[in-house]
């Protein structure tokens, strides 16, 4: 009886002729995620990824890591055994002993992927259930609401016994959805937006704007910590740090106060587009949420993105703050996001920002700025 981890594929099974490429990327991502934990044999058959330890490995840590890899809808540890009804009973009784002793009711659910196996799924469930009841007399069968579910899967190479599977990360493997730049601030929203785009298979290049000395070193370190947390889900996640102080000061000194925020955001978009093209990215991701602040009205968002030629994706556009916070807590970014360090977006905040800016007014104000040199200086300082 061997301890193994099973991952069930989700949307990948719908990919037709491209499915192989998605599966290869999923396995590549799993290998990279598990490499600090130990050595594993990882392969896929029949819409399932098998993770077999090679030598001594921390299987609990491997299971936790596997749950963060996009592309699998469920993850579970299982015992592999011979495809024999009595071997399956023995594996279930031994591997699931503590759970079976703790439960009062149970059910056996069998799936027979290997149709050469002589028993039907129903017959196998009945046999294993009867034998387990003999071994654990206190257990009562309950077909509708059991306290514990015993799962039996008969597959090509072996039979597998496990308890209830845990929910996987879902989505598509990172690296199958193209490359995008994501604007990563120190707040709650942008890490969640990054997570959600990575869940659709997107490889992300995070960009953070900082305004020293108006923002502190701790604010920058906070963003780096957020990127480290996100890397569990997003893969390699190296932040591009862009100095933004000079641009903000020039905007403050030259432009109408009520347009400061929208002009600042247009500079962010322009710089993000330059970085995107340098890295071969096709779009920009932001944490914008419609109506949350003055710069996130329909009119302000439209003006903000008018200055770039690539798409701007806003995965949180229709979420309310509670929904965003729930996801932030789930992925582990919330506690870091709420640390009280300033963000460049709070520097030089206008007292009465214009919520419905007009593009001609914004463009007229920008004519007072040396846009190209300001952008080049910021990018040059980063490099």
Q: Which two tokens stand for residue 130?
A: 């009867």
381 vs 383: CA distance, rounded Å: 6
Residue carrying structure tokens 């419905």: 356
- Predicted confidence band at 215 (pLDDT cuts at 50, 70, 90)? confident
- Residue-wise DSSP of 140-190: EE-SSS-SEEEEEEE-SS-EEEESPPEE---SB-TTSS-EEEEE--SSSHH
- Residue-wise DSSP of 19-59: HHHHHHHHHHHHHHHHTTT--EEEEEETTEEEEEESSS--H
The rounded mean pLDDT for the chain is 93
Q: What's the number of CA atoms in the CB half-sphere (13 Å) around residue 219?
A: 23
- Predicted confidence band at 343 (pLDDT cuts at 50, 70, 90)? confident
190 vs 183: CA distance, rounded Å: 7
- Averaged over 300-317, what is the pLDDT? 96
- Averaged over 159-164, what is the pLDDT? 97
Other beta carbons within 10 Å of 28? 15
- Predicted confidence band at 1 (pLDDT cuts at 50, 70, 90)? low
Which secondary-structure segment (H or E) carries 49? Answer: strand 48-53
Check residue 309 and report its DSSP letter. S
pLDDT in tens, 286-301: 999 998 887 889 999 9
């Amino acid at each position: 009886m061997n301890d193994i981890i099973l991952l069930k594929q989700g949307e990948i099974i719908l990919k037709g002729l491209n499915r192989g490429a998605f599966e290869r990327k999923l396995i590549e991502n799993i290998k990279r995620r598990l490499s600090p934990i130990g050595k594993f044999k990882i392969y896929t058959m029949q819409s399932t990824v098998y993770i077999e330890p090679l030598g001594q490995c921390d299987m609990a840590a491997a299971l936790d890591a596997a749950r963060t890899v996009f592309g699998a809808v469920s993850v579970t540890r299982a015992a592999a055994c011979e495809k024999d009804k009595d071997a399956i009973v023995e594996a279930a009784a031994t591997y699931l002993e503590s759970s079976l002793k703790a439960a009062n009711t149970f059910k056996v659910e069998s799936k027979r992927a290997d149709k050469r196996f002589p028993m039907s799924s129903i017959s196998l469930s009945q046999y294993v259930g009867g034998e387990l009841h003999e071994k654990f007399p206190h257990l009562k069968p309950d077909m509708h609401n059991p306290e514990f579910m015993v799962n039996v899967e008969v597959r090509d190479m072996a039979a597998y016994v496990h308890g209830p599977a845990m929910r996987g990360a879902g989505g598509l493997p990172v690296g199958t959805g193209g490359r995008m730049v994501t604007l990563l601030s120190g707040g709650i929203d942008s890490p969640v937006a990054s997570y959600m785009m990575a869940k659709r298979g997107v490889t992300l290049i995070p960009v953070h704007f900082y305004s020293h000395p108006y923002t502190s070193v701790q604010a920058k370190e906070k963003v780096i910590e957020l990127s480290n947390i996100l890397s569990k889900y997003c893969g390699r996640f190296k932040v591009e740090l862009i100095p933004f102080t000079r641009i903000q000061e020039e905007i403050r000194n030259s432009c109408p106060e009520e347009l400061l925020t929208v002009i600042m955001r247009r500079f962010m978009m322009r710089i993000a587009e330059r970085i995107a093209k340098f890295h071969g990215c096709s779009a920009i991701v932001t944490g914008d949420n419609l109506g949350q602040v003055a710069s996130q009205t329909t009119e302000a968002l439209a003006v903000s993105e008018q200055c770039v030629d690539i798409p701007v994706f806003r995965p949180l556009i229709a979420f309310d703050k509670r929904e965003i916070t729930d996801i932030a807590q789930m992925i582990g970014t919330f506690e870091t996001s709420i640390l009280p360090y300033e963000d460049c977006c709070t520097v030089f905040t206008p007292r009465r920002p214009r919520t419905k800016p007009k593009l001609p007014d914004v463009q007229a104000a920008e004519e007072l700025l040396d846009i190209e040199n300001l952008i080049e200086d910021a990018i040059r300082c980063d490099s």
